[in-house]
Structure 1
Amino acid sequence: MLVRFREDRYLQWVILFAVVAITIFGLSYINTIYAAVGRTPTLWFHDLFISLMALSSTLLAGLLWRSFVPGEVLKTIWCCLSAGLFLWTLGELIWAYYELILKKEVPTPSAADAAWIAAYIPLFVGLILRYRSLQTAPSRSQLIGSIAFFIVLSFIVIIFIISPRLASADDNATTEQQLVGVLYPIGDLGVALGALWIVFVLAGGTLARSWLVIVL
């Protein structure tokens, strides 16, 4: 795996881009940098950057969907993924509209939450269809590794994300607000694991690259 990483320039660029993007976002939240830049420029940077990334992903998925002929399973798969990414982009744009145009706090739950949560449905369907279309079973070691990874990651999500959110929830928080806070980590976990499972099955091939992007 390490040798393949050293030889695969595409994979190196993907990981480098992900690391740089995460680093920039992390740095922008450091108090000294945030204070120097200011709240408004930071909001514009975050909202516009994320919206553009989501829109680009939606357009690329749409182009892939249009590239297949009707009746192909890949056309159905990319139709589902395009729909999910479109809903996700819609949520980002609604969120940005609240913060940048209306200049008001986004309510919870909001129309953005509805779009984001709804996006998980076509994304899940697309991932399931893609895995079934491969008609390839993972090896024993991949299966054991995937199960172990799922258990560990689920434990981390429950202990460090879901439980603290429920424990720190405002006494006045509605059931809908608490539910929204729990659905996001569960949905993200499901999408990441689904894409990672496909990467395991396609390991060693060029098709694994695009699914690695989804995982990142």
Structure 2
Amino acid sequence: MRATAKGCGGADCDSDPESQSRFCMGEAMSTAEKLLTVLWLLAALLIVALDLVGIDADLRSSYSNGVQLFAAYVSAFFCFRTSRSFPAGNAARQVWLLMGAGVVAWALGQSYFWLYGLLSGQETPYPSPADVGFLMIGPLFVVALLRFRFDAGLAAPLWAMLAAPLVLLAAAAMATYINLAGIQSGDWSIRLVSIAYSVADPLLLSVTLLVASGFGRGSIARSWWYVVLGIASFFFANQSYSALVFHDRYASGSAIDVLWPIGFGLIALGAARSRAAHSAGW
């Protein structure tokens, strides 16, 4: 199904070549955007480098948590900034608002996670109030993605309709296996949070697949592929974290921490690209 004026903010992507090049394919990245992207990647990859060379654990922890927190709040800023670029009543405004709210929820959880470690000198326990914020991002993103899908008039192909439930089941099985120790815990709080992670992350991944499958080559903004990749990075970060926690092998500053700032960086880039496309005439 092609994207109509309702979903594209006034641009008929399939029938208007100019709109297709401007909205569906997106404007070229500016030099400033390219520079910021490179700096973002270098800052994130430094987390891995510090872990590999065995830098002081406290320094690694502070740097990693700081980069994650900065990445989340910057990503939220870009989501809200993009939301405000659309007129009131435009569905895209609500979609990006929900995306921003989800990122802020995660950032608040990360703020608690980092502050607890700084003030106590210990690793933040699992679960903790931080997990409330971490878990909120999933439902808010799912609502945003589904709102985007229905408003843009995206029709998922048959293969995606069949694959999405299978991905949900496979991801849920993997997440359940990873979180099995927590699910079987005698502590109700650990059990509840572990079950929540086993459900929320696979649901987000399957919904992301369902929405992304309808993009096509001339149907929707390329900017949203950045968001899809960001969500995928977020999923693998969460599951890697859970696997390490239940094997007592996680410490703040571990190499897997890089997946969160990379994910939020991709979401921020998607928001910036969407705003640029809209400003250019979307």
TM-score where L is the length of structure 2:
0.59
2:210 matches 1:192 = no
Distance 1:101 1:71 in 2: 44
If asked which structure has higher relative contact order (CA below 8 Å, sep 6+), I would say 2
Q: 3-state SS of the aligned residue for 1:108?
A: coil
Distance 1:123-1:96 versus aligned 2 partners, 3 A rule:
same
Distance 2:47 2:169 in 1: 25
Aligned to 2:229: 215
Give 2:176's aligned amino acid: I
- Match for residue 159 of structure 2 among 128, 134, 144: 144
**Can you give the 5+ residue segments of structure 1 that lack an aligned partner in the other structure?**
1-7
Aligned to 2:175: 161
- Matched positions, count: 197
TM-score where L is the length of structure 1:
0.74
Percentage identity across paired residues of the two chains: 19
**Can you give the 5+ residue segments of structure 2 that lack an aligned partner in the other structure?**
1-26, 231-282
2:102 matches 1:84 = yes
The answer to whether the Cα contact below 8 Å between 1:192 and 1:214 also exists between their aligned partners in 2 is no
The alpha carbon displacement at 1:111 in A equals 1.7
Distance 1:138-1:121 versus aligned 2 partners, 3 A rule:
closer
The alpha carbon displacement at 1:101 in A equals 3.7
Taking only aligned residues, the RMSD between alpha carbons, in angstroms, comes to 3.3
Matches within 5 A, 1:48-197: 48-139=66-157, 143-145=158-160, 147-148=162-163, 150-152=165-167, 154-158=169-173, 160-166=174-180, 168-169=181-182, 173-197=186-210
The answer to whether the Cα contact below 8 Å between 1:94 and 1:111 also exists between their aligned partners in 2 is yes
Give 1:41's aligned amino acid: L
The answer to whether the Cα contact below 8 Å between 2:182 and 2:194 also exists between their aligned partners in 1 is no
CA deviation map 1:184-210 (0-9, x unaligned)? 243223223323333221232461333
Distance 1:164-1:136 versus aligned 2 partners, 3 A rule:
closer
Distance 1:195-1:148 versus aligned 2 partners, 3 A rule:
closer
Quick check: which one's helix share is greater?
A: 1
Q: 3-state SS of the aligned residue for 2:213?
A: helix
Q: 3-state SS of the aligned residue for 1:215?
A: helix
Return 61-70 or 195-204, whichever deviates more.
195-204
